[in-house]
A and B are shown apart, each in its own frame.
Chain A
């Protein structure tokens, strides 16, 4: 495949699928054996939409994002599945082809804005560096960088380009990262908890910024968060993950109104999802995550599920439809099973 076709946007109407993760399974090698961090994960991100990924710490949200952009730790092994971006399976690309896609079609911003930038390089150097593919003059790159900074609300951008990361606050740094994403105009932006390290006011601002940015560029965003309020505010669709599996997916409205999975229900009970109330961690649900080295049989949530019954012990629930475009993996939704109480 030629380089051009790898990076040219394919004209398609909004709503068509941009990213399709299908049946993705991933293990981490460890001294205890393989950690089955992702199992049969499927996520689809339509063009121009913001999809939230929620779940408690350790459920595999970051791993999913890193698998998509292929920046996984060295001990990660993808054992099954595909990651189709604009129709091409990223998992089959050579490292070189993958690098061509990063920064053009897909890019990423991270949780901790304090460490996302290099402390010996000025902000301007970062922002000029990422335009290395553009055949424009250094001065033009600088001007574009300043424009991007202004766009994300950093005053006096021209002179602030000379400043170093430590001269900015955490929220400012996250804005810089967003400005960098703005410069390369990716079709897909992966955002791994970009607001978790910030206080509530900052979080609201960053969310507003991402929303505006998305509207302007028409890009899609995969937004990882463990704050349901943020997801409710920003996202169109949600994917709920638990212990390496997707347990529910659907539109934000559907899921917040009628959560199909007991795990989602528990989440919503503890966190009604209002953005202005900052929850540092996902609400605590009694019990803990199952061991991912010896993944138990049956439903992954059975040890903590208040509704668990006999079938849950032996059979892993498939995704059952809850409503149009809304599915959850819980045996309670199996209509063929008849009534239960």
Chain B
């Protein structure tokens, strides 16, 4: 267990370092002086030199990277070029919006997807099973940003049921009503995906000998489905969700842009647009860390559910 966590931590650090290094290299390779872009056409050479000095742009690339990591370990992710506020403060301020969005999307997608998949497996080839099959395939096929745009058009613009932009914040209901459409758009593809996975693994589990054994002892069908089959059938879902975190993060970025919602997505898009590299770095660092954390959490949940996995950790 401790060995596992240590290994995970090491992996996390490695992935984050790799991502940030790649980003440094990319920025370096992009033609044009970041300082000149930031300051605009009327910048004086002195101003440009000042920015270079501050951002360490004249240092050799490896040194810039090392300096960055040294600062990060001290909790310093640099300063925003425009506002002079610490990047860590800005990024961490935006993080809750994105995490809330992703968690709501996952929650509703699993709460709907697992029962749908379970029901489809038990009533295989029934009308509902076929209906769920068609719906889930189409939901998976539609990109989440398309879903976001349609959701926005239909429910916010035409029907006017829900607010179109922003994250609200004026009390619980206001926040919730602003969350519904983006969470719907991000999660809807997952509903179908989860339903498919649960259906397939449920069918597999229901064919296993221990289910026949439970039936041979006359256990009620309900208990067999929920206690003996579903507990096993949801294990692949947990893994897929952990790995799918990268996908979820990118879907959240699109949804934040479409709904003009604050969050890491909005932040990174704006920062890239304005060549605000310290912010880009900070955001990438945090999202990569989020990704590694979520796969670890998925592993831990799996271990909590499956004694064999638990022993392997």
Contacts and interface: CB of A to CB of B under 8 A. Distances in A.
Interface in A126-151: 129-130, 132-133
Contact of A116 (B209, B223, B305): B209
Contacts, number: 79
Contact of B210 (A69, A117, A132): A117
Nearest to A118: B210
B139 to A, nearest CB: 29
A146 B125 CA distance: 43
B214 A120 contact: no
Interface string A99-113: 111111001111010
Given A129-B223, A130-B219, A116 B232 contact: no
A171 B208 CA distance: 19
Contacts of A118: 210, 214, 228, 231-232
Contacts of A184: 217
Given A110-B209, A115-B208, A121-B227, A103 B217 contact: yes
Contacts of B209: 110, 112, 115-116
Contacts of B208: 115
B32 interface: no
A102 B218 contact: yes
A71 B219 contact: no
Contact of A164 (B213, B221, B307): B307
Contacts of A71: 212, 215-216
Interface residues of A, number: 31
Nearest to B218: A103
A304 interface: no
B60 to A, nearest CB: 54
Given A110-B209, A112-B209, A177-B213, A119 B232 contact: yes
A180 interface: yes
B307 A119 contact: yes
A132 B228 CA distance: 15
B42 interface: no
A22 interface: no
Interface string B219-233: 111010001100110
B230 to A, nearest CB: 10
A100 B308 CA distance: 33
A166 interface: yes
Contacts of A110: 209, 212-213
B210 A166 contact: no
B204 interface: no
Interface in B197-216: 208-210, 212-216
B71 interface: no
Nearest to A112: B209
B306 interface: yes
Interface of A: 69, 71, 99-104, 107-110, 112, 115-122, 129-130, 132-133, 164, 166, 177, 180, 184, 190
28 contacts: A69-B216, A71-B216, A99-B215, A99-B221, A102-B217, A103-B217, A107-B216, A107-B217, A107-B218, A108-B213, A110-B209, A112-B209, A116-B213, A117-B213, A118-B214, A118-B232, A119-B232, A120-B305, A121-B228, A129-B223, A129-B227, A130-B217, A132-B220, A132-B223, A166-B311, A177-B213, A184-B217, A190-B216
